[in-house]
Structure 1
Amino acid sequence: MTVKHRIPTLLCATAMTVALATGASAQSTNQPNNLNKLQDFKTTGAPLRIQTVEQGGARAAAIRENLKQVKLPPGFKIDLYAIVPDARHMAVGTNVGVVFVGTRKADVWAVTDRAKARVADEVKRFAPSIDFKVPNGVCFSKDGFLFIAEHNRVLVFPAAEFFYESPDVAVGVVAETLIPREEESFNHGARVCRIGPDDKLYVALGQPYNVPPPEKAKLYNEQGIGGIVRMDRDGKNREVYARGVRNSVGMDFNPANGELWFTDNQVDGMGDDQPPGELNRATKMGQNFGFPWYGGGMVRTVEYKASEPPKDAVPPMVEMAPHAADLGMTFYSGAMFPAKYKGGIFNAEHGSWNRTKPVGARIMFTEVKPDGSNGKTEVFAEGWLNDKTGEYLGRPVDVVQYLDGSMLVSDDLAGAVYRISYTGQ
Structure 2
Amino acid sequence: VARGLTMPVGVAFRDGDLYVSEPRDILVLRGIEDRLDDPPAPVVAVSGLPWRAGDHGWKFIAFGPDGKLYVPIGAPCNICDVGHRFGKLMRMNPDGTGREDVAWGIRNSVGLTWHDPGHDPGHDLGQDLGQSLGQPGRFVLWFTDNGRDLMGDDVPSDELNRLDHAGESFGYPYCHQGDVPDPVFGRLHACAEFTPPVLKLGAHVAALGLRFYDGAMFPHEYRGALLIAEHGSWDRSRLAGYRVMTVRFGADGRVASYAPLLDGFQQDQIPWGRPVDVQPLADGSVLVSDDLAGAIYRVTYDGAARGAR
The TM-score normalised by the length of structure 2 is: 0.86
1:132 paired residue number = 5
Residue of structure 2 aligned with 1:341, choices 222, 225, 235: 222
Q: CA deviation at 1:374?
A: 3.4
2:111 paired residue number = 250
Q: Is structure 2 residue 66 aligned with structure 1 residue 195?
A: no
Q: Is structure 2 residue 239 aligned with structure 1 residue 358?
A: yes
Cα distance change of structure 1 residues 324 and 310 upon mapping to structure 2, 3 Å threshold: closer
Q: Is structure 2 residue 198 aligned with structure 1 residue 317?
A: yes
Q: Is the contact made by 1:293 and 1:304 (CA closer than 8 Å) also made in structure 2?
A: yes
Q: CA deviation at 1:263?
A: 0.5
2:189 paired residue number = 308
1:204 paired residue number = 72
Fraction of identical pairs, as percent: 40
Q: CA deviation at 1:369?
A: 5.2
How far apart in 2 are the matches of 1:264 and 1:390? 24
1:174 paired residue number = 45
Residue of structure 2 aligned with 1:156, choices 7, 13, 28: 28
How far apart in 2 are the matches of 1:189 and 1:165? 32
Q: Is structure 2 residue 263 aligned with structure 1 residue 263?
A: no
How far apart in 2 are the matches of 1:201 and 1:333? 23
2:37 paired residue number = 165
1:145 paired residue number = 17
1:121 paired residue number = none
Amino acid at match of 2:302: T
Q: CA deviation at 1:184?
A: 2.4
Q: Is the contact made by 2:178 and 2:191 (CA closer than 8 Å) also made in structure 1?
A: no
2:91 paired residue number = 230
Cα distance change of structure 1 residues 186 and 412 upon mapping to structure 2, 3 Å threshold: farther
Cα distance change of structure 1 residues 166 and 325 upon mapping to structure 2, 3 Å threshold: same
How far apart in 1 are the matches of 2:254 and 2:70? 22
Q: CA deviation at 1:372?
A: 5.2
Q: CA deviation at 1:331?
A: 1.3
Q: CA deviation at 1:177?
A: 1.6
Q: CA deviation at 1:385?
A: 1.6
Amino acid at match of 2:7: V
How far apart in 2 are the matches of 1:337 and 1:235? 39
3-state SS, counterpart of residue 161 of structure 1: helix
How far apart in 2 are the matches of 1:205 and 1:375? 31
Cα distance change of structure 1 residues 311 and 271 upon mapping to structure 2, 3 Å threshold: closer
Cα distance change of structure 1 residues 173 and 368 upon mapping to structure 2, 3 Å threshold: farther
Cα distance change of structure 1 residues 309 and 175 upon mapping to structure 2, 3 Å threshold: farther
Q: CA deviation at 1:140?
A: 2.0
How far apart in 1 are the matches of 2:183 and 2:206? 21
Residue of structure 2 aligned with 1:414, choices 259, 275, 293: 293
Larger Rg, first or second structure (1 or 2): 1
2:278 paired residue number = 399
Q: Is the contact made by 1:288 and 1:310 (CA closer than 8 Å) also made in structure 2?
A: no
The TM-score normalised by the length of structure 1 is: 0.64
How far apart in 2 are the matches of 1:309 and 1:166? 55
How far apart in 2 are the matches of 1:340 and 1:147? 34
Q: CA deviation at 1:254?
A: 1.3
Range with greater deviation from structure 2 (153-162 or 228-237): 153-162
RMSD: 1.8
Q: Is the contact made by 2:161 and 2:196 (CA closer than 8 Å) also made in structure 1?
A: yes
Q: Name whichever structure is richer in strand by fraction.
A: 2
Q: Is structure 2 residue 291 aligned with structure 1 residue 423?
A: no
Q: Is the contact made by 1:127 and 1:164 (CA closer than 8 Å) also made in structure 2?
A: no
How far apart in 1 are the matches of 2:29 and 2:60? 16
Q: CA deviation at 1:163?
A: 1.9
Unaligned regions of 5+ residues in structure 2, if any? 118-137, 305-309
Using CA pairs under 8 Å that are at least 6 residues apart, name the structure with larger relative contact order, 1 or 2.
Answer: 1
The alignment covers a number of residue pairs equal to: 284
1:395-424: per-residue Cα shift (whole Å, max 9, x none)? 111111223221111111111111101121
1:241 paired residue number = 102
How far apart in 2 are the matches of 1:144 and 1:163? 11
How far apart in 1 are the matches of 2:164 and 2:251? 15
Range with greater deviation from structure 2 (259-268 or 338-347): 338-347
Q: Is structure 2 residue 151 aligned with structure 1 residue 290?
A: no
Q: Is the contact made by 1:349 and 1:360 (CA closer than 8 Å) also made in structure 2?
A: yes
2:123 paired residue number = none
Amino acid at match of 1:137: G
How far apart in 2 are the matches of 1:373 and 1:232? 33
Unaligned regions of 5+ residues in structure 1, if any? 1-125
